[in-house]
């Protein structure tokens, strides 16, 4: 065990022999973290994945640099079909220990099959869509999406659990039991899965053993039994009883036909005569109405043209409104995954640039925010320095537009860097023909407000005069 302050090996004493730091509490934390790791490892070995994940989260919560616990937590997440959580743990592990880390191998294995990785990401997106359908009461649509999810990602425990819950709500208990049994095969001691199966047992009164017995009986009934030499084949009898119901039906049909004939020959002629009289008297009235209608047709056509014009205008407005709708969170997740890939490939500046395109994180999950904030903390400082230095060099060469582009990226990553803010104002000043305009004025005033006694503030004041 090494000292947290100077990195030297610790003895049995409660202080460091080299720097004198108190390490008694530190040692206890390391021991507890390793204890939780060992307990999590035992649970993972018996496929109690959810229990193992809980213990391993406690382990890394106590000591975040416990590389073995963090790598194992990533493996547990991966085995449960949660690829994003797995990658997050491995990326953090690699950041703590860049060399000789198994997390490198795990990340390479995942990235070695891009099609499989994209399919797993697609399954997570479909799960989120299904969850939205379920929350809005569209259970059939949610079930369709979840079937696709578990078809793509056969280890996604949460997908099985949500599908089983929807089947329970629809009272399709046999389907729910089959789905949840598959989930139990992946995570053998998951308390939520066991809770759902217990609920099915209480609702149906059928235990797991009885259910399996019933399935076996149905399977036997469906199988054709082979004849043995002692079996006797009894031929079918040719005797048939008289079907009196059939003759009753025939008599009813004949009666209906006779009644219809009487109506046709007796009642219909009188009604036809009355109809002709009425028709001749109303024909004149119809002709008058037609002449009146012809007069109004032109007016109606004009109204139709006006309504069509209004309809087109409303359609254009609807199209504009649809174009203004907020983007789906799927695009934000994809951007974060691209940033993770750049970080894994040691392109920290590219990772930081990609993160700046995420303009809003409202409504994102806790796991998303944790990974996003970790990447920002690890990439923004160095990337900001790179962009600010590059922008300063370009401004020295009087390449004002190129310098402005670099400096604006640096400002996103380090918004209170005085040199960056001053040089941005200077670029706007030069691009405007060495004249003060709104942008240059705003940046010079910001420099004066943040560092009133600095040289940059003096230069900014001289520009504003």
| Per-residue model confidence (pLDDT) at position 325 | 43
| Per-residue model confidence (pLDDT) at position 319 | 58
Q: What is the CATH number of domain 118-212?
A: 1.25.40.10
The residues spanned by each domain of the chain are 24-112, 118-212
| Per-residue model confidence (pLDDT) at position 241 | 45
Q: What is the CATH number of domain 24-112?
A: 1.25.40.10
* HEC letters along the chain: CECCCCCCECCCCCECCCCCCECHHHHHHHHHHHHHHHHHHHHHHCCCHHHHHHHHHHHHHHCCCCHHHHHHHHHHHHHCCCHHHHHHHHHHHHHHCCCCCHHHHHHHHHHCCHHHHHHHHHHHHHHHHHHHHHHCCCHHHHHHHHHHHHHHCCCCHHHHHHHHHHHHHCCCHHHHHHHHHHHHHHCCCCHHHHHHHHHHHHHHCCCHHHHHHHHHHHHHHHCCCCCCCCCCCCCCCCCCCCCHHHHHHHHHHHHHHHHHHHHHHHHHHHHHHHHHHHHHHHHHHHHHHHHHHHHHHHHHHHHHHHHHHHHHHHHHHHHHHHHCCCCCHHHHHHHHHHHHHHHHCCCHHHHHHHHHCCCCCCCCCHHHHHHHHHHHHHHHHHHHHHHHHHHHHHHHCCCHHHHHHHHHHHHHHCCCCHHHHHHHHHHHHHHCCCCCCHHHHHHHHHHHHHCCCCHHHHHHHHHHC
| Per-residue model confidence (pLDDT) at position 6 | 75
| Per-residue model confidence (pLDDT) at position 141 | 94
Residues of the chain with pLDDT under 50: 224, 226-242, 300, 304, 307, 318, 321-327
| Per-residue model confidence (pLDDT) at position 324 | 47
């Amino acid at each position: 065990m090494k000292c947290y302050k100077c990195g030297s090996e610790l003895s049995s004493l409660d202080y460091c022999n080299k720097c004198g730091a108190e390490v008694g509490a530190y040692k206890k934390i390391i021991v507890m973290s390793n204890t939780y790791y060992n307990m999590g490892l035992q649970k993972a070995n018996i496929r109690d994945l959810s229990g193992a994940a809980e213990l391993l989260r406690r382990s890394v919560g106590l000591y975040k640099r416990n590389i073995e616990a963090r790598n194992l937590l990533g493996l547990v997440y991966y085995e449960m079909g949660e690829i994003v959580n797995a990658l997050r743990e491995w990326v953090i592990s690699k950041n703590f220990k860049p060399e000789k880390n198994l997390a490198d191998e795990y990340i390479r294995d995942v990235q070695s099959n891009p099609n499989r990785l994209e399919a797993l990401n697609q399954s997570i997106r479909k799960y989120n869509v299904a969850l939205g359908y379920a929350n809005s009461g569209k259970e059939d649509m949610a079930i369709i999406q979840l079937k696709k999810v578990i078809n793509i990602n056969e280890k996604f425990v949460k997908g099985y659990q949500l599908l089983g819950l929807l089947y329970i709500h629809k009272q399709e208990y046999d389907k729910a039991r089959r789905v949840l049994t598959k989930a139990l095969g992946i995570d053998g001691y998951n308390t939520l899965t066991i809770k759902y199966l217990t609920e099915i047992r209480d609702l149906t009164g059928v235990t797991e053993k009885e259910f399996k017995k019933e399935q076996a009986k149905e399977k036997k009934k469906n199988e054709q039994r082979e004849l043995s030499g002692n079996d006797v084949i009894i031929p079918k009898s040719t005797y048939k009883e008289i079907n009196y119901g059939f003759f009753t039906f025939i008599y009813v049909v004949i009666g209906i036909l006779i009644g219809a004939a009487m109506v046709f020959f007796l009642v219909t002629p009188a009604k036809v005569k009355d109809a002709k009289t009425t028709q001749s008297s109303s024909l004149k009235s119809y002709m008058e109405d037609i002449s009146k209608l012809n007069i109004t047709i032109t007016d109606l056509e004009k109204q139709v043209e006006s309504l069509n014009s209004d309809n087109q205008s409303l359609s254009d407005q609807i199209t504009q409104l649809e174009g203004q709708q907020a983007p789906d969170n799927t695009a934000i997740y994809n951007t974060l995954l691209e940033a993770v890939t750049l970080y894994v490939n040691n392109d920290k500046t590219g990772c930081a640039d990609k993160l700046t395109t995420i303009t809003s994180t409202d409504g994102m999950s806790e796991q998303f925010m944790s990974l996003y904030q970790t990447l920002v903390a690890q990439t923004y400082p160095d990337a900001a320095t790179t962009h600010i230095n590059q922008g300063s060099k370009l401004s020295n060469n009087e390449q004002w537009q190129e310098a402005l582009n670099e400096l604006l990226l640096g400002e996103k990553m380090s918004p209170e860097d005085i040199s960056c803010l001053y040089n941005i104002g200077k670029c706007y000043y030069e691009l405007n023909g060495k004249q003060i305009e709104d942008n240059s004025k705003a940046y010079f005033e910001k420099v004066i407000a943040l560092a009133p006694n600095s040289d940059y503030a003096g230069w900014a004041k001289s520009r504003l005069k």
